[in-house]
Amino acid sequence: MVPRNDIIEVDEDPNGDDEDNDRGRARRQNYNPSNCLKLKILPFTGSSLPEEFLEWIQKVEKVFEWYEYSEEKKCKVVALEFMDYALLWWQNLKIQRRRDEEEEITMLATMKRVMKKRFVPDYYK
């Protein structure tokens, strides 16, 4: 007797958005309790206290230890959480870099380096 593998199909669409192709098919549910956990990056306002920036960046890194985002996506997610002065600073930085014909910042490592230069004074250890 041959086992029946045609009853359950794996949905290759990671977002599950392709409803038209899913109709009439049974899908295997990959239940994992950790998949239900949602971690959030706290907003960053651009405080003048270096401790606040350094603590915020550590929390961001902990969130990204959990999620497997590309470096470019990490950069975009972080920028979404800028508020107040940090948001104005980021927008002005992007405009200035375009004006100076510099490459756009798309990698989290570059973003962190630029932010540290702005929000942590040289004398701070």
Instruction: From first to last of the 125 residues of the chain, give the pLDDT tens digit.
Output: 444 444 333 344 444 555 555 554 444 444 444 556 677 778 888 888 888 889 898 988 888 887 788 888 888 888 988 999 999 999 999 999 999 999 988 888 899 999 999 988 888 77
Looking at the whole model, is its pTM more than 0.75?
A: no
Strands, E, within the chain: which ranges? 8-9, 26-27
Name the residue ranges covered by the structural domains of the chain. Answer: 42-119
Neighbours of 119 (CB within 10 A): 22
Using CA atoms, how far residue 16 sits from 9, 12, 13, 32, in Å, is: 13, 8, 5, 16
Count, residues in the chain = 125
